[in-house]
Structure 1
Amino acid sequence: MKKTKNRWLIALSAVGIHISIGSVYAWSNFTTPLKDLFGWSDSEVAMTFSIAILFLGLSAAFLGHFVEKHGPRKAGLLAAVFFGVGVVGAGLAVTLGSKYLLYFFYGALGGIGLGVGYIAPVSTLVKWFPDRRGLATGLAIMGFGFAAAISSPVMNALIVAVGVANTFYILGIAYFVIMLLSSLYLEKPEEGWLPEGYKEKLNSGKTKPNMDLTQLMANEAVKTKRFWFLWLMLFINVTCGIAILAVAKPLAMESIGIDMTAAAALVGAIGVFNGLGRIGWASFSDIIGRPATYTTFFVLQMVIFFFLPDVSIKWLFVGMMIIVISCYGGGFSSIPAFIGDLFGTKQLGAIHGYILTAWAAAGLVGPLFAAWIKDTTGSYSGSLTFFSGLFVIAFVISLLIRLDIKKLKQSKMVANPSLENQVG
């Protein structure tokens, strides 16, 4: 008999991959050093990050089927190679003083590693944790959110000690090793496997079984309204959240008049709550359901973004920002479990990859829109009001997906009455 792996070590392996690739959120640490070295503009340096996020979404979409076909171990190893080569190649680009090589290595190759590495462990975790879907995916994706808080001080110390190019070389090798070791432990559970004691809880009625609404292939899922409702909800949540992340420091200085040091501390706090929101909201979604969780995101944020431009009280402003960023992180961590609820686990990785194209699009739209409003009006307040309006649309979509779920459940009730109240 083959020994079953420890599912918590599977989760830890997923965290190892996500903490490595999540270091992309600490890219701003390289902005000033690269500008000082080569005289590049802010937009030229920031383009590297934008390309990486774009390729994250594209590779997640196109390589989602690779993850399903070849399994999480091979997908994780592929991610390790692409991301490791991308970061080490960034060191070569800096040594040669070429921003186009930087775009190619860190942006394109590193971005492919980001996309594959992001989705590789998630569908596997859903299968290992049928009793705690939200918690499982929240654990892994929490690592992505916390990565910036972990990576930033390391990056800064290395840049001062060994220079920018050597920092990329060291980080690239370190990330490759961590992702390699993490990937080697990843594995899908055997068909029909259930956690110890879970079957007894199901039989006793203490736990309700996961009654997925459907079991669809990825190419079938994209033809449903539910898929596009999910895509739009994630797109709006990420567009507004990533715009706030991109301008958090100048926005805080403009709105509540704090100095640069205090604003930097706020950015650090935001990074922490980005991570906490991922595990917190995803776990909470196991209790209240994924549809209710997303509706809560949008109600909170439509109110906060509407009032935020007029808030001048420091503690209130900081509290509002923290809630927004926790919802931003929670949107990422809750979406894989939501996909499982609606489309099953047959090709969850591939469907997740398709959904993440919303992240790629939002990563370009959100920060650029906020910067354009700032350049045009001299203030960020206009973009915040606009985002409040977007969340009204997202709220309506969250109600429409509930109606769609209810309609599908009703159509299945005759064949399977136990489906009642399983989703939403």
Structure 2
Amino acid sequence: MKKLKLKNRWLIAASAVGIHISIGSVYAYSVMTNPVGKILNVDEGTIKWAFKIAILLLGLSAAFMGTWVEKVGPGRSGTVAGIFYGSGILGSGLAVQLGSLPLFLFCYGFIGGIGLGIGYITPVSTLVKWFPDRRGLATGMAIMGFGFAALIFGPFMQILFEKVGVAKAFYILGTIYLIVILLSSSYIERPPQGYVPEGFSLAESKTVQKDIAYIDAKTALKTKRFYYIWIMMFINITCGIAIIAAASPMTQEKLGYTALQAAGIVGLIGVFNGVGRLLWSSLSDYLGRSNTYILFFALQVPAYYFLPQISIEVAFLIILFMVITIYGGGFSTLPAFLGDLFGTKQLGAIHGLVLTAWALAGVAGPSIYDFVKEQTGSLTTTLQVFSGLFVIAFIVSLFMKRNINALKKELSASES
């Protein structure tokens, strides 16, 4: 019997990047806020609801569709994601053309948001299975694409708005996203059962350890470690989103930057967000995933506490960009960590459930920041509140480490 030729796993990874770069364009939403708001005759706060709905639907669809994604495979789920996201953007163009705010909220927020959620989790478990030797690197590459997308599509959107108009720009963008996601989905597939890269042996590997479980999503929900990682992600995202939202006014207040200079810092935040996704997830292959998260929180407790008290420009920016890399790194290290904790049986479904933390943190982060800042009038006090949240995350990460060590001992005893 003729042996089937394996697909190139690096092209599988490139396909995953194609999906994530397309859906990650949602991070460039601020570019369209004013142009769309003017056409629909609504203020900035109203038009931002489309983005809020999209992120909420990302978390919810990732959670509720995760089991289905695992069942049908990445090719089919990626195709569905492309159809939803592409249709959502095309429909947004129609909404702009018709001057309909409800249609815009529905197309961009609900339809596009469902595409976001399905597309975000589609490549994850597949990449982990193709790269048992480099889980962190593989998932980091894909999720880095999500972080970098705004740098690519933000300027491109602005050019299109100026050259062809807002409605036509949405039609062009929707078509591009649809084509890229469908082409990427046509190549991506799971590896054969029991696949290992040539020359790799788990038994001989010094950096890769055996998964401590191989369970489904329903069973994962009954474990302590699921809730540990959920709390850790919720806090990391809540605090990260808050500081991203506050970056422009904070640099103007503390460093005396002009609005234009502050906008430049916001652009650099996008770079460090993307770089952190690849950097930290790759390092986690060597440091160990639980140690990486412990390090995340150990660094951010003092960073958030002292940042608003620093007036030296270089020191301030180094700390700011460091915490942004950790924000991105938390996302990209997560899929590999979940693979370590629960195995790859229903990794996409478990990942989707944890991403509900993102949906809630997207509301909680800016809300906590605005409330504390308004009540105290102090940026220092506000960021110290977030520093306190990181103390909780640090303690939870130590509980996670202890739980993992106990499970490894049990696993070792049962095999001996």
Which residue does the alignment assign to 1:373?
A: 372
Question: C-alpha deviations, 1:397-424, integer Å up to 9, x for none?
Answer: 000011111121222221225xxxxxxx
TM-score, L = length of structure 2: 0.97
| Contact 2:40/2:101 (8 A) holds in 1 | no
Counterpart residue number, 2:227: 228
Question: Within 2, Cα distance between the matches of 1:252 and 1:246?
Answer: 12
- Aligned pairs for 1:92-241 within 5 A: 92-199=94-201, 202=202, 205-207=204-206, 210-241=209-240
Q: C-alpha separation between the residues in 2 aligned to 1:53 and 1:324? A: 22
- In the other structure, the counterpart of 1:81 is 83
Identify the residue that residue 349 of structure 1 maps to in structure 2.
348
Give the letter aligned to residue 299 of structure 2. Answer: L
Following superposition, the deviation at residue 294 of structure 1 comes to 0.4
2:22–2:180 contact (8 Å) kept in structure 1: yes
Determine what percentage of the aligned residue pairs are the same residue: 55
SS in 2 for 1:415: helix
> Residue 49 and residue 288 in structure 1: after superposition, are their counterparts in 2 closer, same or farther (change >3 A)?
same
Q: Which piece of structure 1 moves more, 211-220 or 25-34?
A: 25-34
Report matched runs for 1:229-308 at 5 Å: 229-308=228-307
Measured against aligned partners, the alpha-carbon deviations of 1:182-231 in whole angstroms (never above 9, x if no partner) come to 010010000111111114xx56x354654111111100001111000000
Aligned to 1:20, the other structure's residue is in SS state helix
Deviation per CA, 1:369-417, whole angstroms, max 9, x where unpaired?
2233344444544331111000000000000011111121222221225
Corresponding position of 1:421: none
Please tell me whether the aligned partners of residues 130 and 210 of structure 1 are also in contact (alpha carbons under 8 angstroms). Answer: no
Report deviation, 1:263: 0.9
User: Is the aligned partner of 1:396 residue 2:395?
Assistant: yes
In structure 2, C-alpha distance between the alignment counterparts of 1:293 and 1:416, rounded to whole Å: 27
Deviation of 1:360 (Å):
0.6
* 1:22-58 CA distance string (max 9 Å, x none): 1111100112223333442222122111111100000
Deviation, structure 1 residue 151: 1.0
In the TM superposition, what whole-angstrom CA distance separates every residue of 1:281-319 from its partner, at most 9, and x where no partner exists? 000000010111001110111111101121222222211
Alignment counterpart, residue 69 of structure 2, candidates 55, 67, 70: 67
Within the candidate set 46, 51, 54, 2:53 is matched to: 51
Deviation at 1:7, TM superposition (A): 0.1
Separation of aligned partners in 1, 2:157 and 2:374: 30
Match of 2:23 in 1: 21
More displaced stretch, 152-161 vs 378-387: 378-387
Question: Does structure 1 retain, via aligned residues, the 8 Å contact 2:207–2:285?
Answer: no
- Residue of structure 2 in register with 1:3 after alignment: 5
Secondary structure (helix, strand or coil) at the match of 1:3 reads coil
Between the aligned partners of 2:18 and 2:244, the Cα distance in structure 1 is 23
CA distance 1:101–1:378, shift in 2 (3 Å): farther
Q: Give the letter aligned to residue 58 of structure 1.
A: L
Q: Matched residues in 1 for 2:283 and 2:142: separation?
A: 16
Q: Does the CA contact (< 8 Å) of 2:297 and 2:393 recur in 1?
A: yes
- 1:316 has 2:318 as partner: no
Q: Distance in 2 between matches of 1:98 and 1:255?
A: 41
Structure 1, unaligned stretches of length 5 or more?
Answer: 418-424
Mapped contact 2:40–2:100 kept (Cα < 8 A): no
Question: The residue matched to 1:404 in structure 2 has which SS?
Answer: helix
Could you tell me how far apart the structure 2 residues matched to 1:371 and 1:163 are? 35
Contact 2:40 2:96 in 1 (8 A): no
Find the aligned partners of 2:245 and 2:351 in 1 and give their Cα distance: 25
Query: Alignment length, in residue pairs?
Result: 414
Q: Is the 8 A contact 1:129 1:136 kept in 2?
A: yes
Alignment partners' CA distance in 2, 1:382 and 1:101: 41
Q: In 2, distance between residues paired with 1:379 and 1:255?
A: 12
**Tell me, which stretches of 5 or more residues in structure 2 are unaligned?**
none
Match of 1:412 in 2: 411
**One-letter code of the match for 1:76?**
G
Structure 1 pair 98/377, CA: closer, same or farther in 2 (3 Å)? farther
SS where residue 195 of structure 2 aligns? coil
Deviates more, 1:357-366 or 1:36-45: 36-45
Q: 1:374 to 1:93 in 2, by over 3 A?
A: farther
**CA root-mean-square deviation:** 1.4
Matched residue of 1:198: which SS? coil
- Equivalent residue of 1:194, what SS? coil
CA contact (8 A) 1:15 1:140 kept: yes
CA contact (8 A) 1:125 1:137 kept: yes
